Structure 1
Amino acid sequence: MSLIRFFSRLIVGLIFIFSGFVKAVDPMGSTYKFTDYFTAFGLDTLTSLAFPLAIFLSTLEFAVGMALVFDARKQLSAWGAMIFMGIFTPLTLVLAITNPVTDCGCFGDALILSNWETFGKNVIILTLTLILFFGRKQKERSYPLWEQNLLVFLSIVFPIWISVYSYNHLPIIDFRSYHIGANINDGMMIPENAPVDEYKSILKYEKDGLVKEFDETNYPWQDSTWTFVDSEQILIKEGFTPPIHDFSISNETEGDITDQVLHDENYTFILVSKEIDKLNEKSLPGIKDLWLYALEKGYSFIALTASSMEECNEFKTNHEMPIEFYNTDEIQLKTIVRANPGLVLIKNGTILNKWHYNDFPAAKELKGDLAAYSITKHQKLNIKLVFISIISTLLLFICLFLLLSRKTKARK
C-alpha cells in the first residue's frame, strides 16, 4: 500500500506542478479564461478578480504539487489537493454538460483538452488524491520541519516571480499558435480531405396546434396537413479547425488586406492593441520612433485593434500619430501578444519577433538585417531557458535522490 501511495503522490504532484507552471508563465491567458467563465455564468461583476485569481490558483497548484512530490507538510498538502480536486471535479462536470467555454484552460495553452476530457482527467486525479488523503496520517519518518517549510516557501515565491515577470514582459515560454517562428499562413491552412463539421437538420412542423420535430429522413413533405414552422442545424461532429482561425486585417477604407500583409516579402511591424483607449501611453514615444524608423527603411508599420475606427481616428488626432489602423478579432489580438500595446515583426507571414511595451527596442538597436537581429535575440533567450531548465532538472533529481536516501536509511 505504501508503494501505491508513493506513486499516487508523485503522479498527482507532478500534474499539479505542470499545471501550475504552464499557467504561471502566462497569467494573462488564465485571466482571459476566468473572464470568459464569469461572463458565461453571468458573473460579470467578478471579472476584476480574474487576474489575482489566476496568480493565486497557479501558485497554489505549484506549491501543493511540490509539497506532494517532496513529501513536505503531508497533512496540508493532502488537504490542499483534496480541496482543489473536490471543487474542480464537480465544476468540470458542470462545464462538460453546459459547455459554456470549449477549452477549460486547466493546462493553459500547453495542452488543450475538451471539457469532457478534463472531467475524465479530474476523476482519475481525484481517485489518486483520495488515496493520499486517507493515508495522510500514516506515520513515516520525515525530514526536519524547517526544511519542509523552506520548500513550501520557495514553491510559493517561484510561480509568483514567474507570473510577475511574464506579465511585465511576455510569457517566458509561448505555447500559442502565434509564437516566434510560426508562419501565420501555414497556421490557417486546412489540409486536403480534412474532416468537416457535420450537422443534423431539425425540421419543425405543426398540425392541429401540435408542433413536432422531424429530421431529413422522415419529415412530412407529402402530407399537406402539416405546416412548416422552423428549422435549425445541430452540430453532431466537429471537423478540423486550423490552429489559427478568425484572423483577418481590414478597415473601411481598404477592405480586407490580410493576404497582402501575410505575403509581403518586406518587413512589417504590427502594433497590437485590443482596446485602443486602454493602450499604455508610456509606450507612445517608443512607438513613434519605431514608426519613423520603419518609414525611413521602407518597412510597413500598421496597427491592429478591436476598437472602432472612430476611436482610432480620435487616438491618431490626439497623439499626432499617422499610423494606419485595421480591425482584427479581439480574441486573436489577445492571443497574438499578451500586452496592450504589443509589437510584432513579420515577414512573408512568419513571426520573427514580438515585444511587450516594456521591451520595445530603440530604433538605434535595429541595425543590419532584422531577421538576423531577431534570431540572435531569440537564440540568447533560448540559451538562458535551456540553462535554467538544466539547472532546475538537476536540482529536482538531487532533491529526489536525497529524499529517497533518507527514506531508505529510515527503513533500515
Structure 2
Amino acid sequence: MDKQNSVKFWGYRRPDGRVGVRNHVLILPTIVCATQTARQITELVQGTVSMIHQHGCAQVGADYEQTFRTYVGHGTNPNVYGVVVLGLGCETHQARKIADEIAAQSGKPVELVSIQENGGTLSAIAKGAKVAAQMVQDASALMREECDFSELIVATECGGSDACSGLSANPAVGVVSDLIVDLGGTSILAETTELIGAEHLLAKRAVDDKVAKRVYEVIDAMEKRAFSMGIDIRTGNPSPGNIRGGLSSLEEKSLGAANKSGTRPLQELIDYAQRPTKKGLVWMDTPGHDIEQLSGMVAGGAQVVLFTSGRGTPTGSPIAPVIKIATNSRMFKNMGDNMDVNAGTIIEGTETIDSVGRRLLEEIRQVSNGKLTKAEILKQHDFGIWRIGPTF
C-alpha cells in the first residue's frame, strides 16, 4: 500500500497542527494528593477524564524529569482539547510549571487550580468544575475534519502473552504496523524487557549504525537494572501467567513480541514518554509493565493503541482508545466484555495473518472516526509512570 492509496479518518485539528481522534478535557492531577479531587470533578462534569496515580512528590533528578515529561505529554496529546491542571500547592511537581509547559508546547486551553490556594478540597472542586464545564462546552463546538493516516501515531503492546501470541495477534499487528508506516504514519514498538533475546533482529533493521548501537545499549541497561537487584530477568520472565499460557523462555516470549514491529526499518529509539522525531517504526524504551508502557507511549503522542493479549486484560487509557486483540478464540469468548478483535481465527485457519492485519487497519479507522473501544465504554482509565529512582 502506498501513500497514493491513503486512508482517511475524521479527526480534531489542534492549535499545534496535530490531530486527535478524541476530544477530551483532561483533569490532570500533578500529585497523588490531588487525584481524588480530580476524580470528583470528572464525576460532576461530563466530557472530562482524569486518572488516579501515586506520583508527583519526593522525586529527584532523572526520575523527576521523566514524571514531568509524562504529565506534559498527556496534556499535549492531540486527543485532549484542553487541560485543567490540578495541584495541591506544596508538591515537587509544581502544577503551574506543568500548566505553562503544556500551554507553550500545544497552544491549547489550559487552566490551573490549586487546592491550597483555593481554600481546600470543596473550593477546588467548585472552581475546577466551573472551568472544566466551560472548556467542555467549547470543545463540543469543535468539528471533525478529514485527515490522513500519516498524521497518526499508533502504539503497540502485548500483555498476558500465551503460546498463540507470536503466531496470531502479534504478527497481525506487525502487518498493520507496516501498513501504517507505508501510509506515512508512525508505529511505536515498546516493552524493552520483552525484546531481550530478539534485539539482534531489530538491530539489523536499524536505519544506521547509531540506531543499531542504541538497540544494544537499552537492552544491556535493562538487564543491568535487574542484575543490580540481584535478579536475572531471564529467570523472572515469562511471568507465571505467560508460563500457564504455554511460553517456556524469555527468548520465546521476545521473538513473539518482536513480531509486532513488522518488517519496516527501525528509524529511531526514543526515551520513555518522549515524542517521536521521525515517521515510520520507532522503538520507545519502556518496561514490560502494561500500564507504565501504555502511559509512556500515550505521553509520546500516540492517539490509538493496539494491545494484544493471550490471557485477557481490561487495560485502557484515560485519553487514548485501546483496541484489545485476542490471540485465541477461547479467550475472546471468555473475555468478551474486554476484547475488541479476535485474531484467534488465524490459529483456526479461517483467516490469514495478512487479512487480520488489514481488518485491524479498518478497526483503527473506525475507532479514529469515533467508534468506542471496550476499555472506553467501561471507563478503564489506567495510568502509571515508570519510576527510575526511589521516593525520597
TM-score w.r.t. the length of structure 2 is 0.28
TM-score w.r.t. the length of structure 1 is 0.27
Compare CA radii of gyration and give the structure with the larger one: 1
